[in-house]
Amino acid sequence: MNNRASKAPADAIELAIFASRITAVCEEMGASLAQAAFSPNIRDRLDYSCAVFDARGRLCAQAAHIPVHLGSMAYAMADIVAAREWEPGQMIALNDPYLGGTHLPDVTLIAPLFVGDELVAFVANRAHHADIGSDSPGSMPLSKHLDEEGLVIAPVALVDNDTIDESVLGDWLQHLRNPPIARGDFSAQIAANRIGLRRLSALIGEGEAADVGAFETRLAEYNDYARKLAASALRELPDGTYRFTDVMDDDGQGNSDLAIACRIEIEKGHVRVDFAGSADETAGNVNCPLSVTAAGALYVFRCLMPAQVPACAGAFEDIEISAPDGSLLNARHPRAVAAGNVETSQRVVDAVLGALTEAVGERIPAASHGSMNNVALGSHRAESPWDYYETMGGGLGAGPNRDGASGVQAHMTNTLNTPVEVLERHFPLRMHRYALRRNSGGAGAQRGGDGLVREIEFLAEASYTVLAERRRHAPWARAGGEPGQAGENRLDDEVLPPKCTGIARTGQRLSIASAGGGGYGRRG
């Protein structure tokens, strides 16, 4: 029996407590996922995200995980929820970027919470699997078609009646090269959702103590509070139309200087972000589903809001996002998207920030390194297959009152590096150099942060794939500063393109140097 007695409106303290408790659900899910995962990519790099949604699929809370995961999940979740009948004890898995995913390595697991017969909420987590069945080790290939990127999972019940469907999981594992590792990671995702369900149930109350009405009332008040705070911040932005165009280096298939055009219209706190004029969808894998594009744009506006604005659906009600169908930022099935999630999303951020310099220039920093600097390595030899994937940080753009930080992840990513000890223990690799790339940040009154250099020696022949940006177009500066130094990829002494793949022989060294951040202001 659900108690739906009305409650007095929450005061600020009660809302703060509610916010902390529901956010803690996400944080504990993430801690569980990291501790239980088998792969270094999830366990050590923390390449995962966790969130709570209401019964309609509206974002309620998220942990401070990965913006591109969370923003795209929040944008697509309502459609995922509406597309099926949900049942207790289910967990639905998906990775199809055209049905709510981002790119194929990111597998999302969604679990509904029922109180009695009533659907009340959802918990969800998204984790990056270094092997999702692509022919290319690391499952981040220079692809031209979605099917080349690995196993495509349309929404399907991985768990039914609280039991793993071994026919579903077994079919996936047949496509993967290290089934025990993959099974362990999927099990960790399931366990994280189960913890989320238990903690959320405790927040709502269980049995006759369950108070769904009180929970829904608090959620409504929470969203209203977020909307009011966000609206106040957005009303501070001056009315007008603002434009900026940035470019992607290339798509890995011979097409370069792909435009990301952004037009922002602001009117009395209502914001419309339109990407008309951006490049058409392309042959390479830098295409984006609209959910990834939206994640980049929403991230920027969230950064302009006060820190105390809750990261829930109410905070984004006054922001509209659009991109032409069939464009780079709203691609159509079956366009390849592996790098769209990790690279194009970063350039979306730069384009939105660039447009906002006209509106609130004093609040906008210079461009950061603008790439996740993706490195995928491995071997598919039957006797000892292995897959390794990581991203790298770089330099942050300087602001009007600060230098840019050096050697850190920026904007749409929030993962760690793989510790050198873990890399060398698990894979036939040796780290020869891992250092700041001194003086790669742009000069100015405030200097851009320096990038990183990571040089890896192959102890056995292996494949490599690099998906990187800001190799041809350096991060831009602000207010008379100087651009950051562009990044560079090398195999021994050979300079490699921004996006490249090949076979490295034993003893060869792959060096990835990430870009520095742009400088701010003229030097005195």
Q: How confident is the model at residue 58 (pLDDT cuts 50, 70, 90)?
A: very high
Average pLDDT over residues 365-375: 97
Q: How confident is the model at residue 207 (pLDDT cuts 50, 70, 90)?
A: low
Burial (CB count within 10 angstroms: exposed 0-12, middle 13-18, buried 19+), residue 27: middle
What secondary structure does DSSP assign to 476-519, as a single string?
P-BTT--PPPP-EEEETTEEEPSEEEEEEPTT-EEEEEPPPPPP
pLDDT digits 0-9 by tens, 254-293: 999 999 999 999 999 999 999 999 999 999 999 999 999 9
CA distance 515 to 422: 25
Bridge pairing between strands 156-160 and 118-128:
unpaired
pLDDT digits 0-9 by tens, 378-428: 998 877 899 999 999 999 999 999 999 999 999 999 888 889 999 999 999
Q: How confident is the model at residue 64 (pLDDT cuts 50, 70, 90)?
A: confident
Query: Could you count the other beta carbons within 10 Å of the beta carbon of residue 47?
Result: 30
The angle subtended at Cα 182 by Cα 334 and Cα 421, nearest 5°, is 110
Bridge pairing between strands 319-322 and 270-274:
parallel
What percent of the chain is modeled with pLDDT above 70? 97
Q: How confident is the model at residue 13 (pLDDT cuts 50, 70, 90)?
A: confident
Q: Whole-model pTM?
A: 0.94
Please tell me the predicted confidence (pLDDT) of residue 29.
97
For residues 196 and 29, the answer to whether their CB atoms sit within 8 Å is: yes
What percent of the chain is modeled with pLDDT above 90? 88
pLDDT digits 0-9 by tens, 18-48: 999 999 999 999 999 999 999 999 999 999 9
CA distance 83 to 509: 48
Span between the terminal Cα atoms of the chain, in Å: 71
Alpha-carbon separation of residue 491 from 212, 376, 465, 520 (angstroms) = 59, 14, 11, 33
Nearest to 89 by CA among 33, 163, 154, 155: 163
CA distance 470 to 256: 12
Q: How confident is the model at residue 15 (pLDDT cuts 50, 70, 90)?
A: confident
pLDDT digits 0-9 by tens, 473-518: 999 999 999 999 999 999 999 999 999 999 999 999 999 999 999 9
- Would you say residue 5 has pLDDT above 50? no
Please tell me the predicted confidence (pLDDT) of residue 71.
85
Average pLDDT over residues 339-358: 97
More confident residue, 327 or 206: 327
CA distance 258 to 237: 29
Average pLDDT over residues 163-189: 96
CA distance 47 to 36: 13
- Would you say residue 327 has pLDDT above 90? yes
For residues 252 and 339, the answer to whether their CB atoms sit within 8 Å is: yes
Query: Could you count the other beta carbons within 10 Å of the beta carbon of residue 353?
Result: 26
pLDDT digits 0-9 by tens, 94-113: 999 999 999 999 999 999 99
Mean pLDDT for all residues in the chain: 94
CA distance 289 to 308: 30
Query: Could you count the other beta carbons within 10 Å of the beta carbon of residue 507?
Result: 11
CA distance 21 to 215: 12
| Cα 237 to the center of its chain, rounded Å | 26
* Token pair listed for 160: 């039914």
3-state secondary structure of 342: helix
Q: Which helix (H) or strand (E) holds 71?
A: helix 67-82
From 97-101, 163-167, 238-242, the region with the lowest mean pLDDT = 97-101
Is the peptide bond prior to 40 cis by the omega test (within 30 degrees of 0)?
no
Please tell me the predicted confidence (pLDDT) of residue 311.
85
pLDDT digits 0-9 by tens, 244-257: 999 999 999 999 99
- Would you say residue 14 has pLDDT above 60? yes
For residues 127 and 185, the answer to whether their CB atoms sit within 8 Å is: yes
Please tell me the predicted confidence (pLDDT) of residue 305.
94
CA distance 331 to 230: 30
- Would you say residue 2 has pLDDT above 60? no
Residue 469 C-beta-side C-alpha neighbours within 13 Å: 29
Average pLDDT over residues 114-134: 95
- Dmax over CA atoms of the chain, in Å, equals 72
Which of the residue ranges 61-75, 207-221, 341-355 has the most confident prediction, judged by mean pLDDT?
A: 341-355
For residues 383 and 356, the answer to whether their CB atoms sit within 8 Å is: no
> How do the domains of the chain map onto residue ranges?
12-227, 365-524
More confident residue, 6 or 45: 45
